[in-house]
Amino acid sequence: MVEEMDLVHLVKDNQAEDVLCSEMEIDENDVLSCMNDHRNVGSEKGEGSTVVFSREAPLLTKDALISKDYSCGSKKVRSRTSVLMEESEVRSKDKWKQEKKLSRQDRIELGRLFQRVVSSQDSELAENLIQLADPQTLNDMLCIALDSIWFLMTRQELNIITGLIKKIVANGANEFTRAALRTSFLASCVSACQSRTMSLADTVGIMAQRLHERLQECHSDEVLKAEAGAKVQKFTEWALKCIGIHCRCQENKGRRNHSTIVEVQLQLSAFKTFLDIAGNHLSGKDFTEAFDAACFPLTLFSSSFEPGWASGTSATAIQGLLGMLVEGGADNVNQCFLEASRFGSTELVRILLQVLSGRCRRGGELTSSSFVGKKQRGGETGVVGMGVSSRAVARRGRAMEVEDRTARRGRVMERWNGRERERKEEKIAQRNSLDVDVDLALGFASHYSKIGTMDCLVEEGNAGAFLGPLMRAAERGCMQVVQWFVTRGCKDMELCLALTAAASSSQVGIAAYLLPHIPQHVLAALSIEILKAAGERSSGSLDGVVFLLRSDFLGDPAATYAVADSMARSSDESVASDLRAFLKEHWSEAAFAEGLRFGQDHFVNIMRIFRRGSSPICLKDLPQPLVMSIAYLPLYRECLEAGGQLLPQKLRGQLVEAAHRVSGRPVSKNSQARELMAILEHHLPTFFLQAPTVTRATYR
């Protein structure tokens, strides 16, 4: 949305058209190289130019500036043009073009006048100015004329602009690459500024912030990153100022700033005319760079658009532009698609999917028609009618043989031609990289938690490879992404592998979330493999394995203990040695027996102290609960600290023996933590207990 305050913010000090002769020294190719890989590409500098980001910016004088209160009329333009025309009549045109170049000041004046003429759609004056231009100024004029196509509103304006472009090229303009890159970038910014949630003032800040974030992730030299950021930001500021000037001119004419679908079609028609004029002067590399130039601003802006922007009129122009660039040979579609997914540029992802789906539909129609032809050819049969003479039958037979041979040769040629067409189409598709990798894009989006982009890739791009992104999110402990995948629907095996990844990375919270979503029979069948993989992939920490065992991940204490004991006694070399040693020490049947022995020895020692101790404090004179506290409070606190539904076998063995001694009755060796802790709590003083209700809830 272009507002007056935005224009005041961007076009200051009565220099609304000063953008055409800015002092920013940037080459478009250099800027776009910074967009691609943030490397510093040397600028190919030449003479001064009236166009922003021309090969060398002109030196301005104060009287060269045009005040802000200009109108889009042509009276002043005509007066200045007539002066220049009178001066040029003294010279021979051929000699002027071959031996003389315009001075820098003349080029500035001529470029400014041409911009105003283009804004006023005065074709006669524009053609007169074209006749005055030298080769460098003609290339600047080509850029100015091409930039104006994104503000066309009528067919008359379309005819004027395309006529000027043809005239400029006919007079010697040949920098088609520069014009294509520049106008692609501008078209993207125009579409972005037509978003209801964007304004020119906001756009500058958003671009600077997003560009800074992007450059921070690059590992190149800090100086080069700073230079790249400054150049791209200046290029963006130029584009936004250019938009402000055109929009102000339209407002002065009483026009709106948002294009209709008819106007967008006119704009795309003008760009198609430019491509036709350029012809072979634009290579596949040029189309590739132009595609990147168009995608780059949207990659940074798109996350700020309102939902559904990509399906509105504002995005139709950029969608059509990208489609034509793909047709021309852009081969970085997948690269831009992945980058948009990584940055969470959902609307750009949606646009690229629409662009490619449109091409696929056209290809599908060709394929279906070819199949229809085969079906029709296969359905033809020759039938000899009844009552026909033998001679006629013979003639008919010979004719059919000739027809069959001809038909066979025809079918062979058709199949060959069909294969040739398929090979050509395959080469074109391979060259243009039309097969975007939606699954890889889903991985990028999930890695950076771009949930909106993930929704788009699944719903509109049919991405279905959940396993890799889900496992990586589980390893990182990204709960939001894990919950998204689980909600979308994952296979049991995918959930098991994600559980393994979380356990191996000690992401206990993720493992706790995943456990209830996996059927028990699946866990039972894969229990050994889950523990084995979690232990093998761990980086020295077995916290994840401990969590699974303490959580009774099989839902059956006996089964969980049995699995741990089996792995502790296993001679399988695939079981990590540290995992086997850990399970043998704490979770095996041998560990439980050792815990029982330890508990028995502890009881014997307590009794010896109770009966034979020479301490001034006679234990036998203390109340029974205090004696129990002295004997078993440390064990109680250790069990309380361990938590979980299951205790390690060694600790459980000690607790079984303690419960037997304090209760004075036999306790089953299969008793679990909750029951055993309740017995112990019953015989300990309440003031020693730490929230017994919480304890009981923990061991449920």
Model pLDDT for residues 182-192, shown as the tens digit of each residue: 999 999 888 87
How much of the chain exceeds pLDDT 90, in percent? Answer: 36
String of DSSP letters for 106-160: HHHHHHHHHHHHHHHT-HHHHHHHHHH--HHHHHHHHHHHHHGGGG--SHHHHHH
Which position has the higher pLDDT, 30 or 185?
185
CA distances 535 to 539, 553, 556, Å, are 9, 15, 21
pLDDT exceeds 60 at position 344: yes
Q: How far is CA 663 from the centre of its chain?
A: 64
pTM of the model: 0.72
pLDDT of residue 12: 33
Q: What single-letter amino acid sits at 98?
A: Q
pLDDT of residue 146: 94
Containing 322, the helix (H) or strand (E) segment is helix 316-328
Mean pLDDT for the chain overall: 75
Q: Which of 77, 317, 307 is nearest to 184 (CA)?
A: 317
Q: What single-letter amino acid sits at 691?
A: A
pLDDT of residue 626: 79
Confidence of residue 275 (pLDDT cuts 50, 70, 90): very high
For residue 37, the tally of other CB atoms under 10 A from its CB is 10
Model pLDDT for residues 82-115, shown as the tens digit of each residue: 545 555 544 444 544 444 578 888 888 888 888 8
pLDDT of residue 8: 29
Residue 693 makes CB contacts below 8 A (sequence gap 6+) with: none
Model pLDDT for residues 375-427, shown as the tens digit of each residue: 333 333 333 333 333 444 344 445 545 555 555 555 555 555 555 555 554 55
Q: Which residues of 413-446 are buried (b: 16+ CB within 10 A; e: fewer)?
A: eeeeeeeeeeeeeeeeeeebbbebbbbbbbbbbb
CA atoms within 13 A on the CB side of 144: 33
Contact 138, 99 (CB under 8 A): no
Q: Which of 348, 304, 586, 552 is nearest to 456 (CA)?
A: 348
